[in-house]
Amino acid sequence: MHCLSTHQLTKRFGDHVAVDAVTLAVPTRAIYGFLGANGAGKSTTLRMVLGLLKPDSGTISYLGNDLSSGPRPLIGAVTDSRGGALYDHLTAEENLRLTCRLIGSPASGIAKALEMVDLSASGNKRVGAFSTGMRQRLAIARALLGNPRLIILDEPLNGLDPSGIRQMRALLRMLVGELGITLIVCSHLLDEVELIADHVGLMHEGRLIHQSSLKQLLKDRSRLIIQTDFQDRKKLATALAPLGSSCDIGPDETFVVNDPTSDGAPEAANRLTAMGARIFRLEQDTAKLEDIYHEYIRAAA
C-alpha cells in the first residue's frame, strides 16, 4: 500500500494550470524526493495534500483513505525552510506544547521528540537564539508530535552548514528506518536528494514527468565505457551484451554497455582478456541524479 497517492490531481489559478493531472505514488516507509524548478507545481501539490488548497479535480488518498471525505488526518509538515515557522519568543518546549494542544496530543511526547532531534538540552531555550540547523530540527520534532505516518519537508537542508546537513541526513534516515515514517522531501539540492531518497518524482510545468525508485533510475542510466584494440565489433557485442541491457558505439570508437550488472566491469575485463583484446579504458560511468534531472527536463521541454 502506498502511504500517499494522488490520482489526476489538478489545480488551476485562473487560466494557469499549476498542477496538471498529477498521479503521485509515495511508498510507505521511504523518502520520496519531490523535485522540480521553482514554479513547477511541487508546493501547490503538497499544499493540496496538506489541505491548504482545494483541488479542482482529482483525488488524494492517505493510507488508503480518501482525503476528500471524513475528517482530515494529521500529516506532519515542515513548511518554512528559512525559519521552521516557529515562535521565536517562546522556548523550544513551549513551541511544541502549543502544537500538542492543537492536535490533542499528550505533552509527554515533547521530551521524546526533542531527544530524537538531539535538542533535549535546548528545550528551555528561546527559539530566537537557535541556529538554522536547530530550528530545522525543532520543526521536525514538532512535525513528529501526534505520530503522523507522513511528514512533508520543504527544503529541510537549506541554509545548513556541512555538519548540519550530515546531521539532518542521519535524522531523516532514522525517521524512516526506526519510526517507519514516510517522508516527502522537496529540495533543490539534487546531490543531497541522491544521498537520502529512495524514490523520486520530477515535476515540470505542473506535470509529473517521472517517478520511480531512485536506485533503479540511477542503474538504468549507468554505463560501462570500454576502449579496446579489438576490431571485430560484432564479436565484441556478442561477448559483452549479456553484461547489460544494451550495447552502443560511443564517441571516440568507445564501446558502451548500458545499465550494466553489478559485476559488469570485472566480468567485461575477464571476457576481453579471454578474447585477447588489449584494454585501453574500462570505466564504470555512474549516473548522477542531477544529470538525469536535466535530461528529463530537457526532454519534457
| Interacting residues with other proteins (CB under 8 A) | 28, 47, 50-53, 62-63, 65, 70-75, 77-80, 82-83, 85-90, 94, 97-99, 101-105, 109, 112-113, 116, 126, 139, 142, 144, 146-149, 179-180
CB of 135 to other proteins, least distance (A): 10
Give DSSP secondary structure letters for 146-183: T--SEEEEESTTTT--HHHHHHHHHHHHHHHHTT--EE
Number of H helices, E strands in the chain: 10, 15
Angle at 296 between CA 192 and CA 185, to 5 degrees: 30
| CB nearer other proteins, residue 104 or residue 276 | 104
| CB nearer other proteins, residue 86 or residue 297 | 86
298 Cβ neighbours under 8 A, 6+ residues apart: none
Of 191, 221, 199, 244, the residue nearest 295 (C-alpha):
221
| CB nearer other proteins, residue 170 or residue 299 | 170
| CB nearer other proteins, residue 100 or residue 272 | 100
Integer CA distances (angstroms), 95 to 5, 66, 143, in order:
31, 31, 11
Looking at the DSSP bridge assignments, the partners of residue 57 are: 10
| CB nearer other proteins, residue 72 or residue 233 | 72
Cell of 263: 559485476
The kind and range of the H/E element at 237 are helix 233-240
CB of 72 to other proteins, least distance (A): 4
| CB nearer other proteins, residue 68 or residue 238 | 68
| CB nearer other proteins, residue 176 or residue 203 | 176
CB of 116 to other proteins, least distance (A): 8
CB of 216 to other proteins, least distance (A): 25
CB of 283 to other proteins, least distance (A): 44
Integer CA distances (angstroms), 16 to 23, 45, 64, 205, in order:
19, 14, 30, 10
CB of 99 to other proteins, least distance (A): 7
In angstroms, the CA 34 to CA 76 distance is 16
In angstroms, the CA 263 to CA 261 distance is 5
In angstroms, the CA 235 to CA 35 distance is 42
CB of 25 to other proteins, least distance (A): 17
